[in-house]
């Protein structure tokens, strides 16, 4: 009907009508418009509700499958946040945020290294963290870079399965032990150094370098530990003492002590002459499968077929109780570089992290489809590399776990007061269960805020000063306006007193810590937006955000402080995208889910970050700081190798540096990515001119001119034609 109103037919039909009749028609149109708008609103509301229902279902499914299929759940969480951003950009649902946070904390797998044709028994990382070596039942060693790409061809020479590998301290030499009874040395090119080291009567089960790289220790099924120099000569006599096979050997940091674990369930220490140091460490109820020295050499961790991890001092005294959690043999053990975290790998297909008191850190790392045989931390402690009988190596992202050992701190709590950000108001919480606002003269403003059923232990102003958060012994958090009116319902989730509350810098997230040992994140509606961070066996007394919001600090009643990853869904999404940047799931997607996740990563993670580095590079290019500009463009292209702007600008930078060949390489990639980029053709043609390749220069200028003409860029078209004429003279 509305379409008819502005036509000539309508004008003719209404000609001669009375004013009352025309008013009636106008009113009818107005009513119709109103009804249509209301209908549109209802449709929009219904559509939004349907979208929300679907997204909540996706979030629930992610939470359900996370412990079973962590990688798939992480990809699904990335896809879900992308769908939420596209369809409801103004409202990222709490359930979607929570599913992303949970997936980020549980799905730590960052890469899979495939290539071995049989189970992978051993893994080691070079001291500089740039090379990974693995050994397999397929009788080969393989070398990889941190992105999971093979380096060199497989190392061949052993006639039996590879059971153990180790790097020398300078990273230039690799030692391997094998089921063929030998120890071999290799350089980083896979070339054998010297002759095989013979001596063990049966399989060699473990090898280790001394810190200075001059001595190799080996253990075997013959129950002996042997020392070798780099020429393959046996040093001294074999070490005898174990009543079964040797499963693991390790040097102390100073190279003066050797630890060995055996099938007899004991750990033993030896000096370099093979003299036992002290008594055997007894306590495991089955074979000791893995041992490791702490970086400072003062502790030894052991993993056993009894499914436990034990910590020992150098006198063989067990420290604390056994670490329990694995459901099967513990085969591999490692300390992080700081000596504050222990990783254990098991036949139950999981890796677990522990602090030095045996408390579990985070969730088990799941992904391997079979027993874990070996694991090691990268030198910077941010990655764990594991080897498994499923024929793969996997890299795991350790960022986001509690950072380092808890620091000593205050061990008492106080009443809470807080200033508004403009410094004009003061809010306080008290044992009477009230919140009170005062000016700087101490005058109370308005009435006390009442609602809590217990002491108010913590108060905080939002950054804009318009909202006050309070935490209480009644286990709730409440939000108030400045008049004392409650905003939303009380936040419930803590199972004990709420001891501390604080706002994020943008005022969109509230952080709380409680006597239940948890730290929780909430949005302003009181919805939990992440899994609680847990501190076992202690009460959280205070919490704080770092200025950038990416780190959370917490203090505990036991006098300790911990650091955690904070931020909101944006930073979590960034972490997930960076974690999977080199993973086959996004590097070479094969499924619809992987392709969808890749699209989200490009759109919402890599492109914005690469664009920021490109922007910085452009600024430096304008300042003619070409080397710094080049570094920025390199960073952008490391994040997104297909970023057209960074390719174009790096090529321009190479032109300014006089490197036409490298500029052409970037223009090639740019044209492959954006085939209609006329300027890339023109500039590439100019680079070919610099290299005296006139034919290619003419071809590129012709293509540039044709594209400019198609795109209606007349000025650039004339420029290309002029340059072409110059070339053709």
- Is residue 381 domain-shared with residue 419, that is, in the same domain? no
Domain boundary among 376, 397, 418: 397
Q: State what percent of residues in the chain have pLDDT above 70.
A: 95
- Is residue 211 domain-shared with residue 353, that is, in the same domain? yes
- Is residue 420 domain-shared with residue 542, that is, in the same domain? yes
Confidence at residue 455, expressed as pLDDT on a 0 to 100 scale = 87
Q: For tokens 């009567």, what's the residue?
A: 201
Q: Indicate if the pLDDT at residue 407 is higher than 50.
A: no
Q: Determine the average pLDDT of the residues in 572-595.
A: 91
Confidence at residue 442, expressed as pLDDT on a 0 to 100 scale = 64
**Residue 573 falls inside a structural domain:** no
- Is residue 65 domain-shared with residue 165, that is, in the same domain? no
Confidence at residue 412, expressed as pLDDT on a 0 to 100 scale = 30
Q: State what percent of residues in the chain have pLDDT above 90.
A: 60
pLDDT digits (tens, 9 = 90+) for 492-507: 999 999 988 999 888 8
Q: What is the CATH number of the domain that holds 603?
A: 1.25.40.10
Q: Determine the average pLDDT of the residues in 452-457.
A: 88
Taking alpha carbons only, the member of 548, 448, 535, 464 closest to residue 500 is 535
How far is residue 140 from each of residues 111, 148, 173, 192, 455, measured CA to CA in Å? 21, 17, 16, 12, 66
Q: Determine the average pLDDT of the residues in 44-48.
A: 84
- Is residue 233 domain-shared with residue 137, that is, in the same domain? yes
- Is residue 229 domain-shared with residue 92, that is, in the same domain? no
In which order are the strands placed within the sheet that holds 216-220? 204-209, 216-220, 225-228, 234-239
**Residue 579 falls inside a structural domain:** no
Asked whether 85 and 607 are in contact (CB, 8 A), the reply is no
Confidence at residue 9, expressed as pLDDT on a 0 to 100 scale = 63
Confidence at residue 4, expressed as pLDDT on a 0 to 100 scale = 56
**Which residues are within 8 A (CB) of 79 and not within 5 positions of it... i.e. 6 or more apart?**
593, 596, 597, 600
Confidence at residue 397, expressed as pLDDT on a 0 to 100 scale = 87
**Residue 571 falls inside a structural domain:** no
Position 403 confidence tier, pLDDT thresholds 50, 70, 90: very low
Lowest mean pLDDT among 285-289, 361-365, 439-443: 439-443
- Is residue 118 domain-shared with residue 253, that is, in the same domain? yes
Q: What is the CATH number of the domain that holds 526?
A: 2.130.10.10
Domain boundary among 397, 418, 452: 397
Q: Determine the average pLDDT of the residues in 559-568.
A: 75
Lowest mean pLDDT among 26-30, 275-279, 676-680: 26-30
Q: Determine the average pLDDT of the residues in 470-492.
A: 92
Q: Determine the average pLDDT of the residues in 689-712.
A: 93
Q: Determine the average pLDDT of the residues in 512-519.
A: 91
- Model-level pTM greater than 0.85? no
pLDDT digits (tens, 9 = 90+) for 647-658: 999 999 999 999
For residue 83, give the 3-state DSSP assignment.
Answer: helix
Confidence at residue 402, expressed as pLDDT on a 0 to 100 scale = 38
What's the domain range around 490?
Answer: 407-565
Q: Which two tokens stand for residue 341?
A: 């975290």
**Residue 570 falls inside a structural domain:** no
Residue-by-residue DSSP string for 574-616: HHHHHHTTTSHHHHS--SHHHHHHHHHIIIIIIHHHHHHHHHH
**Exposed e or buried b for every residue in 311-328, given b needs 16+ CB within 10 A?**
bbebebeeeeebbebbee
Q: Which two tokens stand for residue 506?
A: 């943008």
249 by Cβ neighbours in 10 Å (0-12 / 13-18 / 19+) ranks as: buried
**Residue 248 falls inside a structural domain:** yes
- Is residue 417 domain-shared with residue 510, that is, in the same domain? yes
**Residue 613 falls inside a structural domain:** yes
pLDDT digits (tens, 9 = 90+) for 277-294: 989 999 999 999 999 999
Q: Determine the average pLDDT of the residues in 65-85.
A: 93
Position 562 confidence tier, pLDDT thresholds 50, 70, 90: confident
| Domain count within the chain | 4
Q: Determine the average pLDDT of the residues in 218-245.
A: 94
- Is residue 101 domain-shared with residue 113, that is, in the same domain? no
- Is residue 343 domain-shared with residue 237, that is, in the same domain? yes
pLDDT digits (tens, 9 = 90+) for 117-157: 999 999 999 999 999 999 999 999 999 998 888 998 999 99
Domain boundary among 353, 376, 397: 397
Confidence at residue 14, expressed as pLDDT on a 0 to 100 scale = 64
Lowest mean pLDDT among 82-86, 87-91, 173-177, 272-276: 87-91
- Is residue 634 domain-shared with residue 647, that is, in the same domain? yes
More confident residue, 412 or 121: 121
**Residue 308 falls inside a structural domain:** yes
Distance CA 94, CA 658 (A): 53
**Residue 578 falls inside a structural domain:** no
Confidence at residue 685, expressed as pLDDT on a 0 to 100 scale = 93
Compute the mean pLDDT over every residue in the chain, rounded to the nearest whole number.
88
Distance CA 571, CA 137 (A): 41
- Is residue 366 domain-shared with residue 411, that is, in the same domain? no
Q: Determine the average pLDDT of the residues in 203-229.
A: 95
How far is residue 136 from each of residues 27, 176, 189, 226, measured CA to CA in Å? 83, 11, 18, 22
């Amino acid at each position: 009907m509305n379409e008819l109103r502005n036509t000539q037919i309508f004008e003719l039909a209404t000609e001669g009508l009375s004013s009352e009749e025309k008013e009636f028609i106008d009113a009818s149109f107005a009513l119709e418009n109103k009804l249509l708008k209301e209908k549109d609103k209802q449709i929009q509301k219904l559509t939004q509700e349907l979208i929300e229902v679907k997204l909540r279902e996706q979030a629930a499914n992610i939470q359900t499958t996370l412990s079973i299929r962590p990688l798939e759940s992480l990809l699904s969480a990335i896809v879900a946040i992308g769908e939420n951003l596209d369809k409801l950009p103004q409202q990222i649902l709490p359930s979607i945020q929570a599913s992303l946070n949970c997936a980020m904390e549980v799905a730590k797998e960052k890469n899979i290294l495939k290539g071995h044709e049989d189970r992978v028994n051993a893994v080691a990382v070079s001291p500089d963290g740039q090379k990974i070596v693995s050994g397999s039942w397929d009788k080969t060693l393989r070398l990889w870079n941190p992105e999971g790409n093979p380096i060199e061809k497989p190392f061949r020479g052993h006639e039996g399965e590879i059971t153990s590998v180790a790097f020398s301290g300078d990273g230039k030499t690799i030692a391997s032990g094998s089921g063929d009874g030998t120890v071999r040395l290799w350089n980083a090119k896979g070339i054998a150094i010297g002759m095989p080291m013979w001596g063990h009567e049966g399989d060699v089960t473990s090898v280790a370098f001394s810190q200075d790289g001059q001595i190799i220790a080996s253990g075997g099924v013959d129950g002996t530990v042997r020392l070798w120099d780099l020429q393959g000569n046996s040093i001294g006599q074999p070490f005898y003492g174990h009543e079964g096979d040797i499963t693991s050997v390790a040097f102390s940091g100073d190279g003066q002590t050797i630890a060995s674990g055996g099938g007899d369930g004991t750990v033993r220490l030896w000096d370099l002459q093979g003299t036992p140091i002290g008594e055997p460490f007894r306590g495991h109820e089955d074979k000791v499968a893995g041992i490791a020295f702490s970086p400072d050499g003062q502790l030894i961790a052991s993993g056993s077929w009894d499914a436990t991890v034990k910590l020992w001092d150098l006198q063989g005294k067990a420290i604390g109780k056994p670490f329990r959690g694995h459901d099967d043999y513990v085969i591999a053990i490692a300390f992080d570089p700081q000596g504050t975290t222990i990783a254990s790998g098991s036949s139950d297909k999981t890796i677990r992290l522990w602090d030095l008191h045996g408390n579990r850190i985070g969730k088990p790392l799941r992904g391997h489809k079979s027993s874990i045989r070996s694991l090691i931390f990268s030198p910077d402690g941010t990655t764990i590399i594991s080897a498994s009988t499923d024929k793969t190596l996997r890299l795991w992202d350790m960022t986001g776990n509690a950072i380092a050992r808890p620091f000593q701190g205050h061990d008492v709590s106080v009443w809470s007061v807080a200033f508004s950000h403009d410094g004009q108001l003061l809010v306080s919480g008290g044992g009477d269960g009230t919140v009170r606002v005062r000016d700087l003269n101490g005058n109370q403003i308005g009435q006390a805020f009442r609602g809590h059923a217990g002491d108010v232990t913590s108060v905080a102003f939002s950054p804009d000063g318009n909202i006050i958060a309070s935490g209480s012994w009644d286990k709730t958090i409440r939000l108030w306006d400045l008049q004392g009116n409650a905003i939303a319902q009380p936040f419930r989730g803590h199972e004990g007193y709420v001891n501390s509350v604080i706002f994020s810098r943008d005022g969109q997230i509230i952080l709380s810590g409680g006597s239940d040992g948890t730290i929780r994140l909430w949005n302003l509606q009181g919805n939990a937006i992440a899994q609680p961070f847990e501190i076992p066996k202690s009460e959280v007394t205070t919490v704080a955000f770092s200025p950038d919001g990416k780190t959370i600090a917490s203090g505990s009643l036991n006098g300790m402080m911990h650091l955690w990853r904070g931020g909101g869904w944006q930073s979590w999404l960034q972490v997930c995208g960076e974690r999977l940047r080199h993973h086959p799931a996004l590097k070479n997607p094969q499924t619809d889910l992987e392709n969808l996740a890749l699209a989200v990563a490009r759109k919402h993670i890599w492109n914005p970050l690469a664009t920021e580095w490109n922007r910085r590079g452009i600024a430096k290019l304008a300042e003619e700081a070409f080397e710094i500009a080049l570094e920025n463009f390199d960073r952008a292209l490391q994040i997104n190798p297909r970023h057209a702007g960074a390719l174009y600008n790096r090529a321009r930078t190479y032109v300014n540096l006089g490197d036409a060949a490298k500029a052409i390489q970037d223009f090639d990639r740019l044209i492959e990515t954006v085939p209609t980029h006329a300027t890339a053709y023109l500039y590439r043609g100019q680079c070919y001119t610099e290299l005296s390749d006139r034919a290619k220069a003419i071809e590129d200028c012709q293509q540039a001119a044709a594209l400019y003409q198609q795109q209606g860029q007349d000025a650039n078209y004339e420029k290309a034609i002029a340059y072409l004429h110059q070339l053709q003279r």
